[in-house]
Structure 1
């Protein structure tokens, strides 16, 4: 189901890109053997992303916005499968990365880490084929997890704010870094800020406080929302380039799922006040393998954030 939703996401993106210039893709990609990929390599690649995007070493304010600014098309969707946190891939059609985050787990902090985790897959595992992805599944997951941790909590800055690695100390940092206490404990282990005995005490203390399923402050964070598709859709409708009904008809995606993937409110496609728009003709020899695409209309500049 997740990959079917990802197919739909790509279809929507292809259609919108016929009239809009999306942000350029700026995602570094590891091309070596993943079995030879060291933790130091992963840390360096996470650092390379921050340098490439000019975002410094502070906390990431909005993880999904960061991905979209780097050219990643993102969306959120209910998948009906609690063990699935997200899915990502590079498209062979527009050479653009796509990320779909599951909304089944209602935790803004978890969603942020999931998005960083999928970024890790895009950076580290672009050249991994399906068979290798299955055989080395646990290795790939561990690598993406390490990348997410390194990206969200850089070794250059995060350790400097840890006066003392205690649960209360981590709790004090949670609002600023927008990561879970569990993620901070693991990061301190990775960076050898705490030894194995200290880490064990921290994990046991976290469990004793009842923080395993839900941590303090979890309810104070707002969910991050993808913006590129909703902004693109509204821009085309407002400029009479495309109508809501024509987009839904061309793509053939169920209305509820189309609204969910585009990040617009429920019922958005019911109200179509721009049904009369420029003529949309079908291509005779569409170069893509997707369903149906119109001829290119005037390309609109996509505003940068």
Structure 2
């Protein structure tokens, strides 16, 4: 049987990757040696497509294939309807487009809560079918047993505490968590439980700054903040938010660019040229060679 050879110089889908060694889970975990702050902050962004991964990869320690793709890619009102197949398809694309960053894939709602055995079956499928090296799941004390079950069987896990979007129907909204003592104490318990269970990283989302700082100093695993504190051991944002692709973004997002504005300008010029028949020109047309 003949082997298919792809011309990596001309193929959009499979350009030649830059040489390098991918960031590993043990290396990330080792960046923080016990409770306290990591020596160098970890850089994480979300990625959902091959091309996006290629552009982000040289600058990131970690790429997260977040279930936020439900909102960003599919226009869903929440992350609850996101399916395992959706996560696997996008996860595989991101792995194919990256060569430097560690890639983690979110476990979607309903894929791990039922039992630790169900969680293992779905998590192992994610790793097998995407090539990613870790999964992320939401929840603290309630998920500690599952996290321990997964990590002891070779599946690295990132925990997620504070504002947990998959629980939006219980939480009743996306407000910041930890405004009262009871919530603050729960976030601390959740983080400690996830840490003790063996999570190699913990995402802290949408909590009061002081709580995120306190949690970071109390746990051994590196913390990744999103709407949390600069004291976290790393930061993550939804890439489309920080690039300015959406008009409405959470308060904690800093826009580093106005990509929506640039796209609108480019499409406006394209439409005008098509309607005036000034595109395509000779440069974009095929003609007999003289």
Flag whether TM exceeds 0.5 (same fold).
no
The structure whose RCO (Cα within 8 Å, separation 6+) is larger is: 1
More strand as a share of residues: 2
TM-score after normalising by structure 1:
0.28
- Return the structure number with greater helix share: 1
> Which TM-score applies when normalising by structure 2?
0.29
